[in-house]
Structure 1
Amino acid sequence: MKPIFYTIALLGLLVSCGGNDDPPPVPEGATLVFPDENSECTTGVSVNAALSQVTFQWQASENTDSYTLNVVNLDTNIPQTISTASTSASLSIEKGTPFSWSVNSMNSNSDQIATSDTWLFYNAGSQTTYAPFPAQLTHPISGSTVQMNGSGEVVLEWQGADVEDDITGFEVFFSNQNPPASIATVGEDTAEIAVSVSASTIYYWQVITTDAEGNTSDSGIFEFRVF
C-alpha cells in the first residue's frame, strides 16, 4: 500500500502548489477629476510672475498601488511627471498657458500600465481671452505607417477645443515637403479631410485653429508614411 499512499500524497502536493498560478492583478485606468476638461484653471497658487502651483486630482483606480501624473505644456511640448501613491499631486506650471494632463496607473505585481483619458486646460494668467487649444492630431499618428484607401487617399483626423467654445475654423496644411503647404480651410464642425497620397512616400501635416477673437493655435507638424 505504500506506493499508492506516496502517489496520492504527491498528487495532493501538486494540486496545492497550483493555486499560485493566478495572473497578477491588472491596473485599471484612473478617472480624471480636476482640472476640468477644456477649462480655465483659476485655483492655482501663485509661485511667482510666471508660475502657479496647481493640484491635480483623480479617482482611485482598481488594482493600483501607484500613479504617474503626466502634464505637458502644449506651447513647448515639454512634459512634467510626478509619481505618487495618492490620488492627487501638485506641480508648478506656467501661467496663461495651455496644458494636457493624464494619469498612468500601476501595480507593483504587474508589468502592465493603464492610462487615463487625456484632458486639456488653460492655467489662468493675466489675459481675458484665450487662444484655442492646439488641435490634437489623432490620425494618422505621427511616425506611423498607414495604408491608403481604395481611392488612393488617407483621411486626416483631429480634435479641436476651446475654453470659450468659439472656434470658427481650421486651416489644414499637407504636403510631402516639410513644412507642409495650406490645402484647405474648414469650418468648426469639420474635424477630418481626405487627401490624395502615393505609396512609399512620407507626408507632413499640421492644423491651425482660429477662434472668433482672431486667436490662433498651432498643432505642430506630424509626419506619416504611406505603404
Structure 2
Amino acid sequence: MRTFFFVLLGVLLLSGCKKNPPNPPQKALLVEPARNSECIPVQKTDDGNNLVRFRWLPGNHSESYEIVVTNLISGLVVDREQRTIDLTLPLEEGMPYSWFVISKNSQTNETATSPIWHFYNPGKQTEHVPFPAEIIAPEPGATVFKDIDNEVNLQWTATDLDDDIEGYSIYFSTENPPEALIALLDTDDTSQKVSVVSDVVYYWRIVTVDALGNTSDTGVLDFKVF
C-alpha cells in the first residue's frame, strides 16, 4: 500500500510538471502598401527603382516574420526574414506586385500566413494591368462538398486601377495545369458552377482581361471534392 502511494504521488508530481504546448503564432495584419492600390514610394533610388515601405501589425505569439514580395510581371520574388514589423525594399517602378507575411515562433514549427495583397509600384505607365483575381471559394487546397446537382461554385473578385476589366477566361480540369477553357464571362460574372465527382482533385485558374487586352493570371488553384 505504501509503495502504491509513492508511485501515485510520483505520477501526480510528473503530470503537474508538464509544460503546456507553445502557442502557435497568429496571422499578421497587413497595413501598407494598401490592398489593390498604387503605393506611395519613400523615394527613388539612383538606379531608377522606388523604395517601397512595407508595414504590418504583429499577430499574437509571433517572434519573427518572413515577408514575400513578388513582381507579377517578371515573377521575381524577394524573400526576407526579420523580427521587426516593417521593411523598405527597392522595387522596379511601374510594376504590379503581391506581398504577404508569414509569422513564426521559434518554440513551434507552426506558422501563420497573412492574406495576399496586391499593389502597383508607380512609374511612367499610363495604363495598368488588372490585378490577378482574388479567390473567394473554394479556398486553394480545400476539400469541399458538392451540392445536390453534383456541382461546386467557383467564386472570385477582381480589381483594376483603371476600372476597365472586360471579363474572365475560366480554365478547369482534372489535369495540372488545367488547359480546358470552360467559360468566357463578362465583368459582371464572378462565379461559375462546375460539375464534379467525389474523391477527385480539380485544378482551375482565371485569366482576367481589360479593355486594352492586358491580362493577369491567378496561377493554378486546386481543391478536392468529398
Check whether TM > 0.5: yes
User: Could you tell me which residue of structure 2 aligns to residue 107 of structure 1?
Assistant: 105
SS of the residue 1:134 aligns to: coil
Which residue matches 1:185?
184
**Superposed counterparts of 1:64-213, under 5 Å:** 64-137=62-135, 149-174=147-172, 180=179, 182-196=181-195, 205-211=204-210, 213=211
Contact 1:131 1:217 in 2 (8 A): yes
Report the CA distance between 1:143 and its aligned residue: 7.6
Percent pairwise identity: 34
Q: For structure 1, which segment, 29-38 or 168-177, has the greater mean C-alpha deviation from structure 2 after superposition?
A: 168-177
Unaligned stretches of 5+ residues in structure 1: none
Moved more, 129-138 or 21-30: 129-138
Once residues 34 and 225 of structure 1 are traced to their aligned partners in structure 2, the CA distance between those partners, rounded to angstroms, is: 30
Distance 1:46 1:175, change over 3 A: same
What TM-score, normalized to structure 1? 0.76
Which amino acid is the alignment partner of residue 106 of structure 1? Answer: K
Kindly indicate which of the two structures has a greater share of residues assigned to strand. Answer: 1
The count of residues paired between Structure 1 and Structure 2 equals 222
> 1:92-119 CA deviation, whole Å, 9 max, x = no partner?
2222111111111111112211111221
Deviations 1:181-205 (A, max 9, x none): 5443323332211234578988664
Bigger radius of gyration: 1
Tell me the C-alpha RMSD between the 2 structures.
Answer: 3.7
* Structure 2 counterpart of 1:22: 20
How far apart, CA to CA, are the structure 1 residues paired with 2:224 and 2:64?
A: 39
Q: Distance in 2 between matches of 1:20 and 1:226?
A: 39
What SS does the aligned partner of 2:84 have? coil
Task: Write the distance in 2 (CA, Å) between the matches of 1:83 and 1:135.
Answer: 27
Change (3 A) 1:205 1:15: closer
- 2:118 aligns to what SS in structure 1? strand
Residue identity opposite 1:194 in structure 2: K
